[in-house]
Amino acid sequence: MKLSPSVSIEQSNTGLEFIKVAGSKCDAKIFLQGGQITEFIPKNKKPLIWVSKNETYQEGASIRGGIPICWPWFGTHKNDGWPAHGIARTSLWQADEVHESDEQITISLKLPMKLVNTEYWPHQSALIVEFVLTDKLQVRLTTTNLSNAAFSYTQALHTYFPTSDIKSTFVDGLQGSQYIEFGEGPFAQGEQVKFARETDMVYTEAGSSQNIHTPEGVINVSRENSSSCVLWNPWIEKSKRLSNFADDEYLTMLCLEAANVLADEVTLEPKQSHTLVTTISWAD
């Protein structure tokens, strides 16, 4: 991969390689393990994504924060013992291309399919993630069916967002959609979503844009090629059971995830592609 003036490859103190971006419009950090962005800071603004202070960046373990890539399934697989949220978020991705202009930096990574366990994913396919970096962050996850038969999959871009106080935070733009929570529902979302308990809502027929209102400002989150999304906060008891997560960190984060889940799962015919897109920014 040919780097640009603003892009370098560095190592964490645990030996994990990451791509460091120090651009004119933003700073960012993207780990090759998981193809996972863990830092995005627009110039003269606060960080837009969150990582746990307890994260240890270990080989083969998912990173608690940033934007984990859940693929080719979201959540728990029906096969006992299969990894939660699929295989992409702990696999080692390969740096592919960097393009830098005055307006943006685009970095693409690909998942080497020869390293993927065919028990988990027997289909011939290609998976690429692109990060388009300006004062906004756009993540584009493209799956291509290279086989001669159709296959289906679910996925999510599991974005962790920061807040200084979850109890003073709410999400607008989900009104009118339906959600499933803890296996129950569907329920109708009638008003803005506030946080006073464990939240694990899987929305269907959701609008393409939501706003997260935090004490620091409003974060706009939009999606393309997705009519489903997931809203999550572990709250008190689950926080104590999570790996690489401090007991009180539920107060400083939430996840709002662009997804293709439930009835929104993707079926790809031979030679077709699908791109899941999320774009996040501080609202002006």
Residue 252, CA distances (Å) to 169, 215, 248 in order: 10, 11, 8
| Domain coordinates in residue numbering, the chain | 7-282
Q: What are phi and psi of 250, to 5 degrees?
A: -60, -20
Helices (H), the chain: 235-239
Residue 173: CB atoms within 10 Å: 21
Q: DSSP label at 83?
A: P
The predicted structure's pLDDT at residue 1: 66
Q: Per the structure block, which two tokens stand in for 146?
A: 């290279």
Q: Per the structure block, which two tokens stand in for 130?
A: 């692109």
| Minimum mean pLDDT range among 73-87, 194-208, 241-255 | 73-87
This prediction has a pTM of: 0.96
Domain 7-282 annotated CATH 3.30.70.920: no
Which of 88-98 are b and which e, b meaning 16 or more Cβ less than 10 Å from the residue's Cβ? bbbbbbebeeb
Cα end-to-end span (Å), the chain: 35
Instruction: Give the tens place of pLDDT for each residue, 58-105.
Output: 999 999 999 999 999 998 888 888 889 999 999 999 999 999 998 999
Question: Measured between alpha carbons, how far is 278 from 71 in angstroms, rounded to an integer?
Answer: 15
Pick the more confident residue, 210 or 115.
Answer: 210
Q: Catalytic residues, which ones?
A: 158, 257
Query: What is the pLDDT averaged over residues 203-216?
Result: 96
